Amino acid sequence: MNLTQNYSTYTEENHNVWAILFQRQIENLPAKAVPEFFEGLKLVNFQPDRIPNFEEVNKRLKPLTGFEVVAAPGIVDDALFFGLIAEKKFPATVWIRSMDQLDYLEEPDMFHDVFGHVPLLTIPVYCEFLAKLSAMALQHVDRPDIVDRLTRIYWYTIEFGLFRKPGAEARIYGAGILSSVGESNLSVSEESVKHDFDVQHILDTGYIKETFQSQYFCIESYEQLLKSLPQIEEAILKLREEPVATE
């Protein structure tokens, strides 16, 4: 995958879209997102009025956790996606939505990939979990059913995870929520269903791509994610031993 960002091709409308989305979420998230998100924004030096330049972002990001952002054409297949992340390369799309798509997209754009994901890629333990989960998925790319189960773990943590310490309100750390004004409001409200983080429960729970999630899983610490990897691996190996369902 040799795609580059070609930063000079972004138009003023592109930058204006970023600015609108950035400002909206910066105003919306302070009481909802984990503090590490805002710390990460500062560390990678995102500007409110200009699309981030991946090359400049990586100069700040890579020394912190070894991760870097690489340009991707859009949604990539599982083998490439997990292979890149296992190598600490996070694939991000280079296109950004248009003005008439501010509130709805069928597939993730750069605002989701970069604004939502990159700030938390400054957290070492979070990155270690992400890289090791991806390496685990890479070992099972011959079994789409198992990759789907591991994608559920990724989905309900990295994409749509909530953080809740005992006795405290839930906060957002999932990128899919951080980049969505509607879901960032729903997810932490009393209207949403929130479960404690449980590996088997997540492995048994399908996810929704077309609309907001119907339920969320809450971790108490990023270390909890890392410590869950042996349990995830054990559950996946048991699935591996089961006969593959046929039509």
Taking only the tens place, the pLDDT of each residue in 130-172 is: 999 999 999 999 999 999 999 999 999 999 999 999 999 999 9
Model pLDDT, residue 40: 98
Closest CA to 149 of 203, 110, 223: 203
Structure tokens at 158: 């990295």
Cα–Cα separations (whole angstroms), residue 16 to 13, 22, 51: 5, 10, 9
Question: Would you say residue 63 has pLDDT above 90?
Answer: yes
Question: What's the helix, strand, coil split of the chain in %, to 5?
Answer: 55, 10, 35
Model pLDDT, residue 246: 54
Model pLDDT, residue 245: 58
Q: Which residue has the higher pLDDT, 92 or 107?
A: 92
Helices 124-138 and 54-65 cross at an angle (nearest 10°) of 100
pLDDT in tens, 205-229: 998 887 899 899 999 999 999 999 9
Q: Which residue has the higher pLDDT, 244 or 114?
A: 114
Tokens 């198992």 identify what position? 146
Q: Which pairs count as long-range contacts for 202-208, CB under 8 Å and 24+ apart, including other chains?
A: 202/152, 202/153, 202/156, 202/157, 203/149, 203/152, 203/153, 203/232, 203/235, 205/152, 205/156, 206/152, 207/151, 207/152, 207/155, 207/156, 207/160
Mean pLDDT of 175-192: 95
Model pLDDT, residue 51: 98
Per the DSSP assignment, residues forming a β-bridge with 195 are: 217
Mean pLDDT of 68-78: 88
Question: Would you say residue 102 has pLDDT above 90?
Answer: no
Model pLDDT, residue 14: 97
- Which residues does 43 contact at the CB level (< 8 Å), separation at least 6? 60, 61, 64, 119, 122
Torsion of CA 55, 61, 62, 68, to 10 degrees: -60
Mean pLDDT of 85-98: 95
Question: Would you say residue 244 has pLDDT above 80?
Answer: no
Pairing between strand 162-163 and 171-172? antiparallel
Question: Would you say residue 36 has pLDDT above 90?
Answer: yes
Model pLDDT, residue 247: 47
Q: How confident is the model at residue 76 (pLDDT cuts 50, 70, 90)?
A: confident
